[in-house]
Amino acid sequence: MAKKTAVAKSKKKPAPSTKKRKRKSGTTGERIEALAQSVVTMAEKQIDPHVDIPLRALSNVHFNEKTRYIEMGDKFQQRNFFNYGQAKRFMQTMLVASKCKDLSNEEKTASIRQIYYMAKHTIKGTKEKTFDEQSECDPIIEDLEVAVESLREELHVFASSRGSLIGQLTFVDSGDTIDATRMGSGGYSIPSIVEPDVIQFKKCNAKFVLHLEKDTVWRRFVEDRFWEKHRCILTHGGGQPPRGVRRLLHRMHNELKLPVYVLLDNDPWGYYIYSVIKQGSINLAFESSRMAIPDAKYVGVSAFDYERFDLSDDVKIEVDANDVKRSKQIMAYPWFKNKRPWAREIKRLLANGFKMEVEAMCSKSLSFVTEEYLPYKLKHKNEWLD
């Protein structure tokens, strides 16, 4: 009977829609408590305990034309305790939530790997372990994020640092004042947690933020002191930018009123990275308002740059079947679909039959990208892609 009650309840949930989700109230700690209390209440009423996990998939996101970023819909998966196929994941969800609440109470943070070991143990009276591999634990953390509508970092969980910053900015990190113009050749390593209670901006002389795809390109810009000559802040994300980098870019754009420009490879992967920075990602659609930068601009590399800068045939990387497929998928995204400049760009890429990396500019000269290419792009804004 209890199982029928739970099933009936799930059918009453709203169908997928394009309406904006109402954000849960309270702090992250209070939301975890509310989640636990709902399970206790169901058990006391002899109802099959369950948690609702919003679906992290393309089918459950929509593009909001007004805000210009991706938002999560109302589809969810119900995770029940009295379900043989779901019982273990239900237990894992509550266990990870408990560990995150402990971290919040103790005002400490832990890595994803540490959370795995904190939650892993053999269940008393059995040979069954709560987790066999970390690959079981990581998705549970992501499930908990969407269930309580809080970023992983707000659950007091951090990931390894990946991304760097240098330039015209002074800020405070955990009580230490950092002058980003005096960070040597390695720059400031952007941490996973960059919220205002950790990082506070103090002084900014930058005119814009230039985000680069890879650390190798970033090093060229640092060595040539591009940030000094053009009064800007340089960042990179080591490919697909991690949450800390995206969140910091969002904060600099909104709090310091700095425009954000991106320089990425001319290939479907570069287009996708731009899409994530600008419109948000599917996995973090519930937090797009704190991550996405709808006004970010794509300054290059463009498929038209091959002829525009008289590059040699040596820079060409042949487009393969996966590139063609991915390009068409990206063009079908609602946030790309009706943009003619992007349609021309992707059609030109496919017509060329080749893609290019930012490093292709080195075929002209080592510092061509910093001394001629980017200065030209900064002057010719009509060639940027929005």
Q: Which residues are identified as catalytic?
A: 117
Calculate the alpha carbon distances from 254 to 172, 194, 260, 296 in Å. 18, 14, 10, 11
SS3 171: strand
CB under 8 Å, gap of 24 or more: what pairs does 119-123 form? 119/92, 119/95
H helices present in 82-201, as ranges: 87-106, 112-119, 134-148
CA distances from 55 to 16, 75, 301, 314 (A): 10, 6, 34, 45
The total of other beta-carbon atoms located within 10 Å of residue 235's CB is 26
Tokens matching residue 353: 């039959």
H/E element, 110 = strand 110-111
Residues in the chain: 386
Using CA atoms, how far residue 259 sits from 43, 71, 138, 207, in Å, is 51, 23, 34, 8
According to DSSP, the β-strands at 164-167 and 76-80 are unpaired
Tokens representing 104? 């919040």
Dihedral sign from CA coordinates of 356, 359, 364, 369: positive
| Eight-state DSSP code of residue 333 | S
